[in-house]
Amino acid sequence: MCTDTAASDTQPHKLMPIHIIPIKRRRFLDLSAKGAVATIVVPSVLAIPGKEMPIDPHRFAFLSDTHIMANPTAVARGINMADHLRQVVAEIAAQTTKPGGVVVNGDLATDGSPPTAGAYRYLAQLLLPLSNLGIPIHMTMGNCDRRSLFADTLTAMLPGTPPVAGRMVNLLKTERANFFLLDSLYNTQRTVTEGDLGMKQIGWLTRALDNHVEKPAIVICHHNVNQPEAKS
């Protein structure tokens, strides 16, 4: 859970979920340090001598609530979240067959709350070994995140127009299923636990589901999705 009263997300941005396409290490760190918008699309992969891993396009790794802080030694509730993520990344990288992708489903970073640019940069560095292996990484927003800060800090080269203005949503197509990545971050002025999709995003999801009925649909967002209670 995150709590704060800070306000830092008032500027409009064109946003989508970040998709870290495998890139060379130097270019990755350069982009993560400079920042821009939401998709890194440089196609080259860092070569790792003697370690050419087969890919299983039908297998994905799902992570959530990484809560990374800018200080590598920071501890929250007795836990160093960076150490935990580093271990998970190492376990994924050690698999004999690498997954077709990794999804990090919200609450990406925090510095007690709200997160800082340094926290998002450190998150990118912790995930770098997966990018080096050629594994795409897809991220969504959680209630502890800040869209504008995330976009300004981590991302570069956003192709096209986001399907829902001001929300990080996207459709990830795979051979056997389609993943609908939603943005349930509700209050960008201060951190609150509850989330919200909004009617524009729900409308986009409805149309996207109707237009992609040929495969199973997997809907991903940080919060549990509940129908609003009827008012008397």
Residue-wise pLDDT for 5-63, tens only, equals 333 333 333 344 555 545 444 444 444 443 322 333 222 233 344 457 789 999 999 99
**Separation of alpha carbons 27 and 30, rounded Å:** 5
Closest to 146 (Cα-Cα) out of 174, 179, 173, 118: 118
pTM of the entire predicted model: 0.76
CATH, domain 19-166, list 3.60.21.40, 2.60.40.10, 3.40.980.10, 1.10.10.10: 3.60.21.40
Q: What is the pLDDT of residue 189?
A: 64
Output the DSSP codes for 208-219: HHHT-TTS-EEE
Bridge pairing between strands 98-105 and 19-20: unpaired
Residue ranges of domains in the chain: 19-166
- Token readout for 105 is 């489903």
